[in-house]
Chains A and B, each alone.
Chain A
Amino acid sequence: MAESTTARARWMSALAQAGPTAVEAVWASLGSPPAYRLLRAPETGLVMVRGRAGGTGAPFNLGEMTVTRCSVALEDGRVGHAYVSGRDRRHAERAAVLDAVLQDDAARPDDAARGRLERLVIEPLLAARRARQQEIRARAAGTKVEFFTMVRGEE
C-alpha cells in the first residue's frame, strides 16, 4: 500500500471510530470551516462485519453494524468520504469534510506545512482511542484467571 493510502486509512479510521462529540471538538479547532457541497447526503445503513478466526481462518460473518456514510466535494474539487459507526449524520458529514481537507494537507508541496493539520486533528483522536482501548484492556485484565497459580492441595 502506498504511503499516502496508509496515511489516509489511518485518519479515516480515527474519524470513524471517534465519538461524535470528539469529532465536533476537532472540527471547532479548525477555525474557519472550508466551503463544500454534498455529493451524497449523510445516510444510515447496515454493513456486514466479517472476520477470520485468528486472522487467517475462513472468513465468517461476525454480525451487522450500523454505519452512516457521507461524501462531500470541496470547492477545488477534492472529494472526501466518510463511513462512521453509529447514526449521527452530523458526525459523518464532519468526517467527510475532514477527510477532504486532510488530503489537501497531505498533498502540500511545502515540507514544513505538510501534515500539520493531521497532527493537530488526528493525533488527539488516536490518543483518545488508545486510552479507551487501554482502559478496556485493564478492566479485562482484572478478571483474568491465572490457572497456573492454582495448586492442588493433596500433593
Chain B
Amino acid sequence: MRAGFADPVFDSQRVFRRVLDAMSEPGRVITVEAPPPGPVPLQPATVAIALALLDLETPLWLDGASRTPETVAYLRFHCGCPIVDEPGRAGFAIIADPDQMPQLDAFDAGTDEDPDRSATVIVQAGTLGAGRGTRLSGPGIAQDAWLDAAGLPARFWEGLRTNHGRFPRGVDVVLTAGASLAALPRTTRVGG
C-alpha cells in the first residue's frame, strides 16, 4: 500500500485551499503541489482531494474502473470512508472512466431546504487546459472562461446543463488530470 500525506494537517489544508480556489473560480485550472502518488487508476489530484476531504462521515461511490481492491484498501485505510454501492447514497463519487459514468442526476442533488447536502463528483479527464474548448459563464467568472477537458463524452456536458437547470439543487463536479484540477459547480453555465 502507498503512503498518504507526509504531513496530514498542513497538506490537507493546502489541498482544501486549492479546491476552494477552484470552486470560487469555475473553469480555472489549478495545480496541486506534490500530490501523493496513490493507487492506479487514481490521478494524483484525485488522491489529494480524497485525502483532504474524505473521512468516516462521507460515503464514497467508486465507478467500475476505480473500484479496484488496491483503491478500496487505500481509501479505507487513509480516509476511513464508507464505500457505498448506490450512487444516490454517496457524498462523494470518483469516476475514473467518464465514458461509462452514470448520469449526473443519479447522484444526490440535495433538497430545496438543504441543497448543501448534495454529492461532489470527481471526474478524471484525460487532460485539462484553459483558453479554448468549452465556454463557461456564471458566478465566479468575470466575462467568460474556456475549459479544455479531454476524454469527456458529450452526454457529460449535456448532464452539466441539466444539473445547472436544477439550481439550487444539483451536484458539484471537480475535474482532475494529473496534478491539475478544475471545478464545475452547479452554478456554472456550460456553453451558449
* A37 / chain B contacts, CB cutoff of 8 Å: 3
- Judge if B10 is at the interface, Cβ distance under 8 Å: no
User: A43's contact among B1, B2, B6, B8, by CB below 8 Å, is which?
Assistant: B8
- Judge if B77 is at the interface, Cβ distance under 8 Å: yes
Select from chain B the residue with minimum beta-carbon distance to A43.
B8
The smallest beta-carbon distance between A21 and chain B, in angstroms, is 28
Size of A's binding interface in residues, CB under 8 A:
10
* A84 / chain B contacts, CB cutoff of 8 Å: none
Contacts of B39-80 to chain A: CB distance below 8 A: 77-78
* A39 / chain B contacts, CB cutoff of 8 Å: 1-4, 77
Contacts of B1-18 to chain A: CB distance below 8 A: 1-4, 6, 8
* A71 / chain B contacts, CB cutoff of 8 Å: 77
Are B8 and A38 closer than 8 Å at their CB atoms?
Answer: no
Select from chain A the residue with minimum beta-carbon distance to B4.
A40
Are B1 and A73 closer than 8 Å at their CB atoms?
Answer: yes
Select from chain B the residue with minimum beta-carbon distance to A40.
B4
- Bound complex: CA A79 to CA B78 (Å): 13
Select from chain B the residue with minimum beta-carbon distance to A37.
B3
The smallest beta-carbon distance between B54 and chain A, in angstroms, is 15
Please list the residues of chain B having a beta carbon within 8 angstroms of any beta carbon in chain A.
Answer: 1-4, 6, 8, 77-78
What are some 18 contacts across the A-B interface (CB < 8 A)? A37-B3, A38-B3, A39-B1, A39-B2, A39-B3, A39-B4, A39-B77, A40-B3, A40-B4, A40-B77, A40-B78, A41-B6, A41-B8, A43-B8, A71-B77, A73-B1, A77-B1, A79-B1
